[in-house]
Amino acid sequence: MSVLRTAIRRSRRTLVGAALAAVLVAGTGGWAAGTTQTAVTGPAPGAAAWRADESLGVRLPDPETTRPADVARFFASLTDTQRHALAVRHPLTVGNLDGAPVTLRYEANSHAITAERDRQLARATDPAGAPEDHRQARKAADRCAALLTPGRQILAFDPRGRGQVAEVYGDLTTAQRTAVIVPGSDIDLDSFDRATDRYGTPAGMARSLRTQLAADAPGTRTAVIAWAGYTTPVGLGPDAATGRLAEAGAPRLVRLLSGLAAVGTPAPAVLCHSYGSVVCGLAVPRLDRGALTDLVVFGSPGMRRDSAAELHTTARVWAARDASDWIGNVPNVELLGLGHGTDPTDPAFGARRVSAERAEGHTGYLAPGTDSLRNFAAIVLGRYGDVR
């Protein structure tokens, strides 16, 4: 009988899981457009050469295991000449090394992006390549060339997979108020700052937010980081309905935020859009207390947490969703690995609700003129009495 009861329980769980999957498919318009992604993890290419470098007569900090605070102390012990030499010899490592000086990372990433552009240009004219290979290589070279535009401040760059990048708007070294944008699905090096659906991209959201900050507080020095530093889901496939990619991305977000603290950047407000809120829900409990001032989730399918209290953070937790956002049709459940749990805008979750009445759709929260943009700017500035 016990064997029979076990079999019945397993059958029920399978049926419930299948039913949940069907509801998720119906709520998001189907999984046909989704493709399974391989998460990019670990340090950027070149880590082995970095570890083997004995030119300074000391062991260089391991890019995978050394805490950002220790990385910061290491670079503080070097001369300017030594720091710049490392950036030239190991651009991908230094450019992605949380805890390294911010301006040194900009320098290193300029070297890394230039090298990648040249590599792609060589591929584009390689006689052994197919026409499609040439086309893709030219496209990649053009993306790199755009990142090299004077004035752009690239905080991270990793060409592996679909590509990852982080960009700073404003002066991060002198900022009094800072923010980090964590995007959701379909974001990579190619779509980071695309012209279509501009305010659904991390670059577009960051630019719009910083413009609003400057308008609301012209005397306050601000900086916003657009962070596309994890492998995002593509389409509305199984990746978007599970936490697999978020679990791979969360440690990367933890290192980013820990690295900011290590170099003396003021604790930021972290704004998490869509699937990015799943990443934030898994990352925030791993952070040191005080690592962020505020956590804002918008267009969220859930955070894989039942309540704001489960985030174990001293930051204020805010949530927004506009009435026209299709994410509201996604069931807020989590079972057998599918779904992301409680709706953060549900009063039972315990987040502070932020008005988004003038936002439109799933990607319009930071569009100019919206109440959600003004509210998010007030949160970043610490003007909590102005939040509606």
**Sorting pLDDT into bands at 50, 70 and 90, what band is 14?**
very low
- Under 8 Å between Cβ of 331 and 324: no
What is the sign of the dihedral through the CA atoms of 332, 314, 180 and 189?
A: negative
Q: Which residues contact 203 (CB under 8 A, 6 or more apart)?
A: 167, 192, 193, 226
pLDDT higher than threshold 50 for residue 2: no
Whether residue 20 has pLDDT greater than 70: no
Can you tell me the distance from the alpha carbon of 274 to that of 298, in angstroms, rounded to the nearest whole number? Answer: 6
Q: What is the pTM of this model?
A: 0.92
What percentage of the chain reaches a pLDDT higher than 90?
89
- Lay out the sheet containing 222-228: strands in order across: 153-158, 164-170, 222-228, 177-182, 269-273, 294-298, 316-320, 352-353
pLDDT over 70 percentage in the chain: 91
- Kind of pairing between the strands at 177-182 and 269-273: parallel
3-state secondary structure of 167: strand
- Model confidence pLDDT, tens digit, residues 160-192: 999 999 999 999 999 999 999 999 999 999 999
- Given a cut of 80, whether residue 219 has pLDDT beyond it is yes
Compute the mean pLDDT over every residue in the chain, rounded to the nearest whole number. 92
Mean pLDDT of 243-270: 98
Query: Which pLDDT band holds residue 334 (cuts at 50, 70, 90)?
Result: confident
What's the rounded mean pLDDT across residues 336-357? 96
Can you tell me the mean pLDDT for 207-229? Answer: 98
Q: Would you state the pLDDT for residue 33?
A: 53
